Amino acid sequence: MIALVRLRLAGFVQTGRVLAPMLAGLFALGILYGGGGGGRPAGVYGVSAVVIFPVLAWQTKILLDVEPDVQRRLARVVIGPVRERVAGLLAAFVAGLVLVLLALAMPWPLGAVSLESGPEGRSALVGVALGVWAHLLGLPAAVALGALASRAITRSAGYGAAVLAVGLVGVVVCGLSGSVVPWLVPPVMATARAVNEPIAAGTGLLLTGWAALWTVVVLAGYAWGRRDRA
């Protein structure tokens, strides 16, 4: 399975398809961080996690769509359907992790982060830790959404783009809603708001559980959708 993960990552890079989401992510983060101003790490990273989420989902879709259908069917026969699906998701997670690391590193050379403690007494180190948590919370959910929009599920580029667009719009619209509707999407917006304030352990556990449950449900839908499809 590790060999298949490496094969999919190699295909993603060598075909040049890695450039589109990578450049889009760097462009969005450059605009976000380019103003400087020395914001507190938690606030800067909270916004960054929101900005990078759609790029991560889009990158996952591109990576899973790179492999020709025949090659994917052969992999399914050779190592089994479950391991074939897991290999694709792992490859998408690794690629997403690289983009997350870039998002975490970019504000420092651009002077967008201040090391001063916030007014609530929170140290910069705690703010950085919360920012890392916010990014890692969104990564699996973005991978799940991108997988659900992949060609193996939707069978067409148009339907895949529609699934991705509906999901991303839902994250923004539902995330801004104050009703029960936000539970239909991962807590990307809720986490960005939470890291800007003193966050209780219970709130952190709630957001983590929410993101994990949403990801599991969507990945279950992905597995169900591919049960009879190669």
Whether residue 96 is contained in a domain is answered as yes
Q: How confident is the model at residue 230 (pLDDT cuts 50, 70, 90)?
A: low
Q: Are 6 and 80 in contact (CB under 8 A)?
A: no
- Cα–Cα nearest to 103, from 54, 173, 170, 64: 54
Highest mean predicted confidence (pLDDT) among 161-170, 172-181, 196-205: 161-170
pLDDT score, position 216:
96
- Percent residues over pLDDT 70 in the chain: 91
pLDDT score, position 121:
54
Question: Encoding tokens for residue 208?
Answer: 């983590």
Strand partners, 153: none
Whether residue 142 is contained in a domain is answered as yes
DSSP state of 184: G
Residues in contact with 135: Cβ distance below 8 Å, sequence separation at least 6, in sequence order: 45, 48, 49, 52, 100, 103, 104
Q: What is the pTM of this model?
A: 0.91
pLDDT score, position 229:
62
Q: Are 11 and 90 in contact (CB under 8 A)?
A: no
Question: Encoding tokens for residue 204?
Answer: 């952190």
Q: How confident is the model at residue 222 (pLDDT cuts 50, 70, 90)?
A: very high
Question: What tens digit of pLDDT does each residue of 47-103 get?
Answer: 899 999 999 999 999 999 998 878 888 888 888 888 999 999 999 999 999 999 999
Q: Are 3 and 91 in contact (CB under 8 A)?
A: no
Tell which phi-psi region holds residue 90, choosing left (phi > 0), alpha (psi between -120 and 50) or beta. alpha
pLDDT score, position 100:
95
Whether residue 32 is contained in a domain is answered as yes
Whether residue 203 is contained in a domain is answered as yes
Whether residue 71 is contained in a domain is answered as yes
In terms of residue numbers, what domain contains 161?
Answer: 2-225
Looking at the structure of the chain, the number of domains it has is 1
Whether residue 230 is contained in a domain is answered as no
Average pLDDT of span 178-187 = 71
Question: What tens digit of pLDDT does each residue of 88-146 get?
Answer: 999 999 999 999 999 999 888 877 777 765 555 567 788 888 889 999 999 999 999 99
pLDDT score, position 210:
92
Mean pLDDT for all residues in the chain: 86
